[in-house]
Chain A
Amino acid sequence: MTEAETIARWVSPGARVLDLGCGDGSLLRQLWQTRQAPGYGVEIDDAKVIECIRNDVNVLQMDLEDGLAAFGDRSFDYVILSETLQAIHRQEPLLKEMLRVGHEAIVSFPNFGYWRARIQIAIAGHMPVSKELPYQWYDTPNVHHCTLVDFEALCAKLGFKVLERFVLTDGGPVSLLPNLLGSLAVYRVSA
């Protein structure tokens, strides 16, 4: 099961969705097609914004680092942050904003505790490069990596409840030792 399929399974039919860092809008398009969930994307990149418009997806060109002031309290059922958490400078305020604007947040990120990442650092002695983390250390947009353990600790600190967690590697689910064997984690949390 892919990340998008996982998210689609979690989103109830007809729910209102806000996708932060929505890229070309393909997740929103999929949520509309499979769950009839209307949504908006937030994206800062010019080319991706145009792709969203081409894909007939509502897109708002805004900087997530400026917060979510454009959105009212509890105006969405789900606020999604898909593989974008690691590229945000100030995670805490954004996560709080997500649960101000949405009833639930869905957050996914590449797991820095994945064994291949650990080996690249511990044995090979270089920063991890993988399918989920395809960048070199000097050209990456990512600024704050974390592991499953780190993210759950942050949720606890912020008083967020983890409602559901799905961990994947190469498109397959991981249940054993997820922080070691999972390359991508998807969480559903509430305030």
Chain B
Amino acid sequence: MIVEACKAKFTEPLRLKSGAVLPQFEIAYETYGELNAARSNAVLVCHALNASHHVAGSYADDPDNLGWWDNMVGPGKPLDTERFFVVGNNYIGSCFGSTGPTSPNPATGKPWGADFPVVTVEDWVAAQARLADHLGIERFAAVMGGSLGAMQALQWALSFPARVRNSIVIAATPRLSAQNIAFNEVARQAIMTDPDFHGGHYYEQGVVPVRGLRIARMIGHITYLSDDAMMEKFGRQLRRAALGFDFDADFEIESYLRHQGDKFSTYFDANTYLRITKALDYYDPAADYGGDLSAAFARAQADFLVVSFTSDWRFSSARSREIVRALLDNRRVVSYLEIDAPQGHDAFLMDDARYFGALRAYFANIVL
């Protein structure tokens, strides 16, 4: 499938949850399939930490650059683009095309950098609603995402109850735990204490806080995999003939993390990383209801599919069951899958026959 990246520009200011105002913004997006005449077959796909609007297919001039959820989305795939009009979008604050810290600040003409406001899941959803208006979509057949993307799918059902028929919430949590926030804080500290960070104004200095980004990514990666998956993949395998009795990488896992960190630091923006981890930390729809998630979901009107993976210790199945409980308390239509998959949090990106089979069946039952 050959796809094309698009941009939509919004000149109406967007008031953010923090109180800050984005005077104008752009959203990068892609669409797959055709919007039907009734405009009833649109599905919004929301991405997690380091992905983008490039969900499926590849570009004519870059055939190797496959979308991050290409196994899930496309012709004949579980989310079948022969039947659905799928919209991939890049949230604001990102560094992959939508307005973010690397974009020019209209007030100064220079990149926003450290001055770009802290954005939240609620802000992303508000911006996505503008994109839906732009595309002529009054109501999505489904909003779907994994991890941080799942938080957006949840929030859609809360921010715009009448605009979502199905919310598909995969590997989610209704709020980060203290441990989750702790990992995020270590990552942020790694970035902010890098001498090249310059308080977020590193663009002007012509440098990138590469060391901080590397460590942030290495920490993140540890939390995406299960202990078993990591052991299975790397074990205690050495990457050199014998122990070196020095501090080069002895073990394959060290080398793997270094490689992931290096790669990430070449394409990801540090200011974006800080903001995304804050958006994760801040997300807590129950907060305005005295911690009562069931009360928070009273406004939801969508049907829900919730999926978790047993080996996911980052956002464990127990967190998804909290979401299910809140939905049951509100008598929402909900199905819940707890997939016994070994990969950890990253299982939501893997092609598992049970997971994909369930999603295929779920989408097939959505009446258009």
Question: Least Cβ distance of B320 to chain A in Å?
Answer: 10
Residues of B within 8 A of A53 (CB): 305, 335, 358, 361-362, 365
* B335 and A52 contact, CB distance less than 8 A: yes
Give me the interface of B with A, judged by CB distance under 8 Å: 305, 321, 324-325, 328-329, 331, 333-340, 354, 357-358, 361-362, 364-365
Instruction: Collect the chain B residues with CB atoms within 8 Å of residue A164's CB.
Output: none
Q: List 7 A-B contacts (CB under 8 A).
A: A53-B335, A54-B361, A58-B335, A60-B334, A61-B336, A62-B338, A69-B321
A189 to B338, CA, bound (A): 31
Chain A interface, >50% SS class: mixed
**Contact string against B for A residues 29-65, beta-carbon threshold 8 Å, 1 for contact and 0 otherwise:** 0000000000010000011011011101011111000
- Do B362 and A62 touch (CB < 8 A)? no
In the assembled complex, how far is the CB of residue B209 from the closest CB belonging to chain A, in whole angstroms? 43
Query: Closest Cβ of chain A: how far from B39's Cβ, in Å?
Result: 23
Least distance between B276 CB and chain A CB atoms (Å): 30
Residues of A within 8 A of B (CB): 16, 40, 46-47, 49-50, 52-54, 56, 58-62, 69-72, 75
- CB <8 Å contact, A49 and B329: no
Bound-state CA distance A139–B358 (Å) is 28
Give, as a whole number of angstroms, the nearest-CB distance from A187 to chain B: 25
Residues of chain B with a CB closer than 8 A to A40's CB = 328, 334
In the bound complex, do residue B365 and residue A56 qualify as a contact, i.e. CB atoms below 8 Å apart?
A: yes
Q: Which of A47, A49, A70 contacts B324 (CB 8 A)?
A: A70
> In angstroms, how far is the closest chain B Cβ from the Cβ of A168?
31
In the docked arrangement, what's the CA distance between A40 and B333, Å?
9
* A72–B329 alpha-carbon span in the complex (Å): 7
Ranked nearest first, the 5 interchain pairs of A and B with the lowest CB-CB distance are A53-B361, A54-B361, A60-B336, A46-B354, A61-B338
Q: In the assembled complex, which residues on chain A have CB atoms less than 8 Å from the CB atom of B324? A: 60, 70
Are A50 and B321 interface neighbours, CB within 8 A?
no
Extra pairs beyond A50-B358, A70-B325 (8, CB < 8 Å) = A16-B331, A46-B339, A59-B336, A62-B336, A69-B325, A70-B328, A71-B325, A72-B329
Chain A residues near B334 (CB-CB < 8 A)? 40, 58, 60
Chain B residues near A72 (CB-CB < 8 A): 325, 328-329
When the two chains form their complex, are residues B337 and A49 in contact, meaning their CB atoms are under 8 A apart? yes
Q: How far is the CB of A77 from chain B (nearest CB, A)?
A: 12
Partner of A50, one of B325, B329, B340, B354: B354
Chain B nearest CB from A39 CB (Å) reads 11
Inter-chain contact A59/B328, CB cutoff 8 Å: no
Closest to A52 in B: B335
User: How far in angstroms is the closest Cβ of chain A from B135?
Assistant: 28
Closest B residue to A60 using CB positions: B336
Q: Is the CB of B354 within 8 A of A60?
A: no
Q: Nearest chain-B residue to A63 (Cβ)?
A: B338
In the assembled complex, how far is the CB of residue B298 from the closest CB belonging to chain A, in whole angstroms? 14
Bound form: Cα–Cα A69–B362 in Å: 25
- Tell me the complex Cα distance, A60–B358, Å: 12
B354 contact set on A, CB distance < 8 A: 46-47, 49-50
Residues of A within 8 Å of B361, CB to CB, are: 50, 53-54
Nearest Cβ distance between residue B352 and chain A, in whole angstroms? 10
Point out the residues of chain A lying under 8 angstroms from B362, CB to CB.
Answer: 53
Residues in A with CB closer than 8 Å to B335 are 52-53, 58-60
For A41, the closest partner residue in chain B by CB is B335
Contact between A50 and B336, CB atoms less than 8 A apart: no
The answer to whether A71 touches B337 (Cβ under 8 A) is no
CB distance from A51 to the nearest CB of B (A): 8
Contact A49 B365 (CB under 8 A): no
CA distance A54 to B361 in the complex (A): 5
Centre residue among A16, A62, A70 by max chain B CB count within 10 A: A70
Query: CA A46 – CA B361 in complex, angstroms?
Result: 13
Q: B224 → chain A, closest Cβ, in Å?
A: 23
Q: With the chains together, A61 CA to B310 CA distance in Å?
A: 11
Q: Are B333 and A54 neighbours in the complex by a CB distance under 8 Å?
A: no
